Structures are given as C-alpha cells and as structure tokens.
Amino acid sequence: MLLWEIDRPLFELAQLYGFERAARCYRASHHAAQGLLSLVAQHGIACEMRPRLSLYLAIDDSRKLVQDEYALRRRADLPSLYLDHAALLRRFGIRRAGALLSADAADADPVLLTHGLLDISVRRGARLLKDNAVAFDSAAQSVIVGLESGLSIEARHAVLATGYVVPDIVKLKARPASSWAIATRRQPSHLWPEQALIWEASRNYHYGRTTADGRIILGGEDDHALIEPEARNHATPTKVAALKDYLKTLWPQASDRVDFAWSGAFDTTHDGLPLIGAVPGCKNIFAAFGYGGNGITFSFLAAELLAALLAGGSSPLLDDLAIDRDIPG
Ligand SMILES: Cc1cc2nc3c(=O)[nH]c(=O)nc-3n(C[C@H](O)[C@H](O)[C@H](O)COP(=O)(O)OP(=O)(O)OC[C@H]3O[C@@H](n4cnc5c(N)ncnc54)[C@H](O)[C@@H]3O)c2cc1C
C-alpha cells in the first residue's frame, strides 16, 4: 500500500510538533507517494502499480477522531474528504461510523518494484554484493565498510538502508513487533467497490487491499510480545483465524479461503515518521530507515533528501526526520 497518510494522524502529529511541522511532514509524504508513482511510470517499471483511493475507517465510536483529522487535513490542503456512515455505506458498502476518503494513493507488488529499481541501478553502474556489513570505520576522509566475507568497501559516503536491523553504530531504542498477513484466493467478482486501500483510525490498525489478480490481502494483528521467529510461526494459525474473522466483518461478501499467510518483523517510531539523515557521531555515514507502515513511500523521500544533503543542500525536513530528533513521549 503506497499511502501518503502516515501511521500517526495529522492531529496527533500536530499535538507533538505543532501544526506547521506536522503539515510539512504530511505534505512531504504526499509528495513522496506522487514521486514514486511518477518514477515507476517514467521508467516503465512493471510492478502492477495502480493509482488507488484510500479509506481511513473510524473504529467503534471513533467518528470524532476521523472528523478532527479531516478538519486538520483540510487546513493542510491535503486531498481527503469526510464520508459519514450513510455515504460510506452507499459508495463502498462498508458499515462504519465514518471514514476519510483520500486521493493519490497507489498499490503495487513490492518485490517487482524493488527488482525494477535495482535493475535500473545496475544498468547505471551500481554493483550488488551478497554479503553482510559488519564493521564501519569513518575516522578518515572516506568510509570503510567491512564485510563478513573479509572484503571491504571504501567510499566517500555510506548510506545504511538495513531496514529494521539497525547496525550498532546507530544508537536507537527499538520496540520491535510482529505482524501477520493473509492473501485470499482469487475472487475478482467479490472485491469491494473501487478496490480502495483500507486502513483504520487506530494505533494497532488492520489494513486491506486487493491485488491485480483479484485477491484480498489483509494484515495486522500486531503483537509486541511475540518477537522470536519460532513463537511468531507458532502463533500464525491463531492470527490467520483472527484476520479471517476481521474479513467477515469488513467485507462478508468475500470468500475467506486463504491461499497464503505470512508474518514478519515490524517496527515503528513513536511519531510514525522515518529516520533519515546523518548518523550522529559517524562522519559521512547516513541512514534511510523507513519504519512504520509507509516505509516504501518514505524510501522515495529518503532518496531525495539524502541526494540533496550529499550535494550540499539542506531542508527543514532533515531536522524533522533526523535520527537524533527529540520525539516527545
Ligand atoms: C508486514 C509488513 C507490512 C508492510 N506494509 C507496508 C506497506 O503497505 N506500505 C509501505 O510503504 N511499507 C510497508 N511496510 C514497511 C516496508 O516494508 C519497509 O519500510 C520497507 O521494506 C523498508 O525498505 P528498506 O529497503 O529500507 O528495508 P528492507 O526492505 O528491510 O531491506 C533491508 C535489507 O538490508 C539487509 N541488511 C540488514 N542488515 C544488513 C547488513 N548489516 N549488511 C547487509 N545487509 C543488511 C536486510 O537483509 C534486508 O534485505 C510493511 C512492513 C511489514 C513488516
């Protein structure tokens, strides 16, 4: 799901940082989602990318949260509309107290997208090595990255893009969780209207999308207590059953026959924003850590900001997203 909406709603981000900074982060995320769509179109990357609407659903009695969010999004000039219960039911057949309907989202196959981008990099001269970076030395003018195989790479700059496995040189307090997802059988005639991306106004939200070949992918059921892969796998049948129950309440018309189920590590920052910029205390080493449910969208932002930074530029976003920023709470 390529959403510009961030895991933390705009009104919560505004409580943390004030409206201007929160709106800047949201607009940057919107710009990144649009940028990724254009990049894919420009290079003709075959990754099943489809522009989509997104639905941010109220849960239980949380209509007020969605309405508050709507008011701030309007103020920030973001492309969202408020749908009340009746409008949501009429257009999408979904029964909730209300929802925000937003333009400018997309979905895509993330593996095809990644391979497409790597192919372009290789054609432009990048070399891919299958190895593990285990040591980083930036005391001299250049950065030396020691690899597990015994080789080392010397470069003017290094950018860490290691996902949730953050090297020790980056001092971060992680709070890892596990997350589960299912993909149903193909059911092209039982998909919800307009195949919008669906997620919820809640910290531990469920999310759902359809695929180009007519499946429904649903995810969520995050768990902070089950981190070890073995415990995670053990819990999968229970989590799959919970996701199937969720599908029945969200979209009872669908078949709940599951063709694929999987789980993975997940992590997010307290403010829902990525960590992008210089690694404190490590000259010439930078990081692009997407984090949260928008990691792919944020990767575009990271590429733009780090390219500008390495070329001597600056942006207030580099302060907003700095690795050592002060995150209240
Ligand atoms: C269940 C789930 C659902 C998600 N859904 C979405 C979504 O719908 N939309 C969205 O935008 N984002 C989503 N995300 C987040 C998104 O997947 C991540 O933010 C994104 O994959 C980050 O990309 P990355 O390339 O930075 O890191 P990764 O994809 O994690 O890749 C990092 C790579 O670095 C390698 N690595 C780590 N350490 C080293 C080392 N020392 N040396 C060499 N290599 C190393 C790892 O093996 C890995 O291959 C989801 C995440 C999860 C877990």
CATH assignment of the domain containing 87: 3.30.9.10
Instruction: Please give the backbone phi and psi of residue 228, each rounded to the nearest 5 degrees, phi first.
Output: -65, 140
d(CA 91, CA 286): 45
pLDDT at residue number 197: 98
Instruction: List the pLDDT tens digit at each of the 329 positions of the chain.
Output: 999 999 999 999 999 999 999 999 999 999 999 999 999 999 999 999 999 999 999 997 778 899 999 999 999 999 999 999 999 999 999 999 999 999 999 999 999 999 999 999 999 999 999 999 999 999 989 999 999 999 999 999 999 999 988 899 998 877 789 999 999 999 999 999 999 999 999 888 899 999 999 999 999 999 999 989 999 999 999 999 999 999 999 999 999 999 999 999 988 899 999 999 999 999 999 999 988 888 999 999 999 999 999 999 999 999 999 999 999 87
Domain of residue 208 covers: 50-107+176-266
The pLDDT value given to residue 179: 95
Within-domain flag for 87: yes
Residues with a CB atom less than 6 Å from ligand 1: 1-2, 132-133, 161-165, 167, 179, 181, 219, 264, 266, 290, 293-297, 299
Per the domain annotation, does 85 fall within a domain?
yes
The domain total for the chain is 1
Report how far ligand 1's centroid is from the alpha carbon of 161 (Å): 8
Alpha-carbon distances, residue 175 vs 11, 172, 223, 266, 291 (angstroms): 23, 10, 11, 9, 11
Whether 187 is covered by a domain: the verdict is: yes
**79 domain-assigned:** yes
Quick one: the chain helix, strand, coil %, rounded to 5? 35, 25, 40
Task: Characterize the bridge pairing of strands 216-223 and 207-210.
Answer: antiparallel
> In which element (H, E) is residue 64 found?
helix 63-75
**Structure confidence at residue 174 (pLDDT):** 72
Q: Which of 5, 162, 236 to mutate to test the pocket of ligand 1 (most atoms within 8 A of CB)?
A: 162
Secondary element (H or E) of residue 113: helix 110-123
State the pairing for strand pair 197-200/50-57: parallel
In contact, 293 and 7? CB cutoff 8 Å: yes
**Strand arrangement of the beta sheet that strand 158-160 belongs to:** 158-160, 285-289, 275-278
Q: Is residue 54 part of a domain?
A: yes
**What is the b/e burial string over 170-200, where b = at least 16 CB atoms within 10 angstroms of the residue's CB?**
bebeeeebbbbbbbbeebeebbbeebbbbbb
| Angle, vertex CA 126, rays to CA 124 and CA 128, nearest 5 | 140
* Mutation pick for ligand 1 pocket among 5, 296, 323 (CB with most ligand atoms within 8 Å): 296
Residue 73, amino acid: R
71 within domain boundaries:
yes
* Distances in whole angstroms, Cα of residue 310 to Cα of each of 18, 36, 167, 284, 306: 29, 21, 21, 9, 6
Residue 218 lies in a domain: yes
Residue 217 lies in a domain: yes
pLDDT for 290: 84
